[in-house]
């Protein structure tokens, strides 16, 4: 991944959980949260599809041997597929739990900060001035994903950010707050904070002209 001023290796002790350093004076933390680990397994790690795949394998195995073996042995022939499927699904659940525990999303009145990664931990710092759009994918039960479309020369690695990305947006990676509870409320909070931050006028003091300097 190329060096980016908004991506930080997170090897130091966090002064505030989820943040690589204390917020500047005046910046307020509006919300912090983690993914729902079960929703992350289902949505990001395709748990249901994987489970369904092994069930189909077991059914195929049963049908293929049911004419050749007694019923009891035919059922027994499907057990290894079901056991393997259970192991794989268990591993996916474990990965989702570890990813969720290692993640901390932070929304402030100035930016979105994403501390992500279990093995390689990085922190993404995304000021509202560099976020062009935010898309909410709301799921049953209130969990949802908020994808952030970045502007300018901000480039992020899909593999480094996965699974905290909008799926299949590889060329122009969109970091995402994945599978968070109360996603509708968080999206509204983020939108209000971003609008307030972007609409704040920047007041600068003009440099003195040569004529005034001469006086």
Average pLDDT, the chain: 84
Tens digit of each residue's pLDDT (9 = 90 or more) over 66-92: 778 788 888 888 899 999 999 999 999
Q: What angle do CA 87, 160, 115 make, to 5 degrees?
A: 95
Local confidence band at 213 (pLDDT 50, 70, 90 cut-offs)? very low
Q: Where are the domains of the chain?
A: 7-20+27-35+104-199, 40-99
Instruction: Provide the whole-model pTM.
Output: 0.80
How far is the C-alpha of 31 from the C-alpha of 114, rounded, in Å?
12
Tens digit of each residue's pLDDT (9 = 90 or more) over 151-198: 877 788 898 899 999 998 988 899 999 999 999 999 999 999 988 877
**To which H or E segment does residue 132 belong?**
strand 131-138
Q: Who wins on pLDDT, 3 or 203? A: 203
CATH 2.40.128 fits 7-20+27-35+104-199, yes or no: no
Local confidence band at 148 (pLDDT 50, 70, 90 cut-offs)? very high
pLDDT of residue 146: 95
Beta strands 131-138; 176-180: pairing state = unpaired
């Amino acid at each position: 991944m190329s060096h980016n001023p908004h991506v930080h290796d997170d090897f130091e002790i966090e002064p505030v959980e989820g943040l690589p350093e204390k917020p500047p004076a005046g910046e307020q933390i509006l919300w912090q949260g983690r993914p729902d680990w079960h929703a992350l397994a289902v949505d990001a790690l395709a748990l249901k599809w994987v489970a369904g795949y092994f069930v189909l394998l077991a059914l195929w195995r049963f049908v293929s041997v049911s004419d050749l073996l007694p019923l009891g042995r035919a059922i027994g022939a499907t057990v290894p597929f079901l056991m393997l499927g259970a192991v794989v699904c268990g591993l996916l659940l474990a990965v989702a739990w570890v990813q969720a525990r290692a993640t901390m999303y932070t929304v402030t009145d100035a930016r979105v900060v994403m501390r992500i990664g279990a093995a390689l931990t990085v922190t993404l710092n995304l000021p509202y001035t560099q976020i062009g759009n935010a898309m909410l994918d709301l799921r049953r039960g209130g969990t949802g994903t908020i994808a952030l479309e970045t502007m300018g020369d901000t480039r992020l690695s899909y593999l480094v950010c996965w699974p905290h990305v909008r799926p299949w947006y590889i060329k122009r990676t969109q970091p995402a707050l994945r599978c968070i509870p109360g996603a509708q409320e968080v999206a509204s909070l983020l939108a209000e904070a971003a609008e307030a931050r972007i609409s704040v006028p920047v007041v600068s003091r003009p440099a003195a002209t040569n004529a005034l300097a001469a006086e």
